Structures are given as C-alpha cells and as structure tokens.
Amino acid sequence: MNETRNPTGQLRPWRWLAVLLAAALLFTACGDDEEEPAAPAPAAEPEPAAEPEPEPEPEPAEPEPAAEPEPEPEPEPEPEPEPAAPPEPIDIRLVTWGGGKFIDFIDLYVAEENGYFAEAGVTLEQLPGAGAGDAVRQLVAGNADIAMADALSGFFATIAGADLEGIYCPYTQNWMTMLVNTGAGIESPEDLRGKTVAVTSQASTSKWYAALLLADNGITEEDVTFAATGIAFGEALLGGQAQAASTWGSINWALLEAGGIPDDQVGDYEIWQYTQVPGPNDVYFANRSWVDENTDGVGRFIDALEKAKIWIQENPEAAAEIGSRYAVGADNMDRNLAVIDYRIQMQSEGPGVAENGMGWCDVTTIQDVADQATELGILP
C-alpha cells in the first residue's frame, strides 16, 4: 500500500536587538566682574610624537588549488542473464468428439500456427472420435492422452471403473440444441413420442443431451428412435428419415442460414435449448495417473491454449483464415467466422466463468447434471 506524507514547515524565531544610546553632557564655567590677573602664558605643549605608520597588512595568500577528485571507477557491466532452459518436451495425443479436424477446434489450430504449442514444448496429435463416448473409450483404452467430451460421457466411464480426471473446460457454455420439424407435428417434447431423432452416434453428447431432455419430460428412449447420422442432419431431416435432430450452434447456422435447408422450408423448424445443461459443453478428460506424471506439461498445454483463445477473441477474421488451412471443409469464410463467433461466446460465458475466468469447470453445475441423469435413469 502506498503511503502519503504531509510536508512539515520549519518555524524561524525572530530575534529583536535593542541598541542603547549614550549622551555626552557639556558644561560651561561662570567668572565674576573683578579682573583677575592675567594668567601666565601656558607652557608650550610638546608636539606629540608622530604615530608610527602602521605596518602594511600582509596580502592574503592565494588559496591552494583544491585537489582534483579521483575519478570513480566505471561500474562493471552486469552479466547477461543466462538463457532460460527450454521446457521439457511433451507429446500429447488429443482425441476429440469430431470425426475430423473441424473448424470447431479452432483454438488447437491457432496454438499450432502461432507457435504457442512450440513455446510450451508441446507436440500435439489430434485424433478423430465418433462422438464423445467414443473419445472417452479411446482414452480409457490407452489410444489417447486427453479426450474432449461432455461431462456425461466422463461419468459413464467413471462408473465403469475408469480413473479419470477433468483437467480443463475449453468451452464452458452449452451450445447443444434440439432442432425439430414443426411440419411433422412437433410442437412440444410430448410430440416426439414415436418420432425419430437424428444424433451423431449412439454414444455421443448429441444423444445424451437429447435423452436428458426426453426424460425430463417423461419420455423414455423406448418411446423414440435414435438414428446415428454423423453430422448429416440436413439429409436426414429433408429426406424424412428423422423429424428432429440433436444438433449444435454451427450446424443450425449451416442448415437454417447458409442454405442447408431450402428457404421455403426454414420456417418449419424450431430450435429448442437444452436448459437441463447450462454448461460446460466440453471437458478435457485424462487418466489420473497420466496427469500426475505430466503435471507441468499439462499446465503448459493449457497455458498455450488460453493464449490461442485470447488471440482468437482479438483476431476472429485472421483465425478464420488459419482455420481454412487446418480444418476440413473450412473453405467458406462466412461459416468459419460464424463458428468462431459461437466458440468465442462459448469460452467467455457459462457457469462460474465471470467469477473464475476462462476454462473454469463449474463442479456444482456438473454435479447437478449428473444428479438429474441419475434421477431420470440415464446414469446407472
């Protein structure tokens, strides 16, 4: 804490000097009328001897010149700091829920392109997954070091005996949705009975969140049909194979705004939010033993990711260009920017992020999702 001090004034006392003045008194002598004999002539006073001339004051001696100060020795140059030792290299195999290098994983590409991974000593290998559940299975099987998945997929693996640890939440706001065709008579969750819902796979965030919405409205998995379509949701909806799809933000943009669904049919579709899961959308899971052995490297990996995320927020158009060179099917810059805008929002918002910062895994919210899933019979 900085301290402020008030200046102190110095008092100077006045000294009064009293000067005493002396007065000389003159008097005169008075004589009578009788003439007195003349006084003898006074003897001549001897002439006063001449005062000796004062000896001339000696001229002041010229002051000796002051000795020149010895020059101060030049300070020795400070030694140059030794270069910091490079970080211990770490190879990380990251399996995502996506079947390829999608634009959705833009933070990975920017961290690579801008050298943030290299500075951190991280060599990253991105592996494809057939949904979040498959990503976690690959992690448990030893085929990956980190899996990008939803919280429910991590819970399923933990219940089955895996010793997993959530190390980071790269996207803290949920962007999963249910896209329904109102032209097929769907106006509420109850209307999904007997309908087909398209999901990316039978073990995916897409399916788990749809099941959570259904169970919350008294509908079991036996009441609907889940069709695994990958990300070909538009074909399933337009072809009549599905009347609803468990999608997410960028898919909805591609279908409803970028021509995936014909303009004359766009009005037939509604987006329902999965309010049961406010976030986080994605969690990085790893085996606990691997985290214990690589604590420093994991921290450097996360630091590099956050540098990339901040850079993306400040440079979305440049990030879209980088994504076009790394991601598959990312030659449409408008779509790239739309996905990046979603991702910026997802990493900046969500439970606990305002108070705790980017990457915050809000345990209370995650536990609430697990409790809901257990109560509704989705988790055993």
Mean pLDDT of the chain: 84
Judge whether 309 lies within some domain. yes
Listing from the earlier edge strand, what are the strands of the sheet with 146-149?
Answer: 122-127, 90-95, 146-149, 282-287, 164-171
Are 241 and 361 part of one and the same domain? no
Are 168 and 216 part of one and the same domain? no
Domain boundary pick from 273, 305, 325:
273
Are 323 and 193 part of one and the same domain? no
Q: Which structural domain range is residue 361 located in?
A: 90-174+279-375
Separation CA 75–CA 59 (nearest Å): 46
Judge whether 206 lies within some domain. yes
149-174 residue pLDDT tens: 999 999 999 999 999 999 999 999 99
Are 158 and 296 part of one and the same domain? yes
Are 289 and 253 part of one and the same domain? no
DSSP per-residue string spanning 296-326: HHHHHHHHHHHHHHHHHHH-HHHHHHHHHHH
Are 371 and 283 part of one and the same domain? yes
Paired residues of 123 in beta bridges? 91
The answer on pLDDT for 1 being more than 80 is no
Q: Which of 335, 345, 284, 280 is nearest to 312 (CA)?
A: 345
Confidence tier at 60 by pLDDT (50, 70, 90): low
The answer on pLDDT for 43 being more than 80 is no
Between residues 63 and 160, which one has the greater pLDDT? Answer: 160
Are 298 and 182 part of one and the same domain? no
CATH no. for residue 266?
A: 3.40.190.10
Judge whether 9 lies within some domain. no
The answer on pLDDT for 10 being more than 60 is no
Are 169 and 192 part of one and the same domain? no
Are 117 and 148 part of one and the same domain? yes
Number of domains in the chain: 2
Asked if 135 and 96 count as a contact pair (C-beta separation under 8 A), the reply is yes
Q: Cβ–Cβ contacts within 10 Å for residue 380, how many? A: 9
Percent of the chain with pLDDT over 90: 73
Domain boundary pick from 273, 301, 323:
273
Work out the average pLDDT over 345-354. 94
pTM for the whole thing? 0.75
Judge whether 371 lies within some domain. yes
Residue 262 C-alpha from the chain's centroid: 41
Judge whether 11 lies within some domain. no
H helical segments located in the chain:
106-113, 116-119, 132-140, 151-159, 205-216, 233-238, 249-256, 263-266, 288-293, 295-314, 316-326, 333-348, 353-356, 363-375
Domain boundary pick from 273, 291, 319:
273
Are 265 and 302 part of one and the same domain? no
Judge whether 63 lies within some domain. no
66-80 residue pLDDT tens: 556 666 767 777 777
Judge whether 72 lies within some domain. no
Judge whether 96 lies within some domain. yes
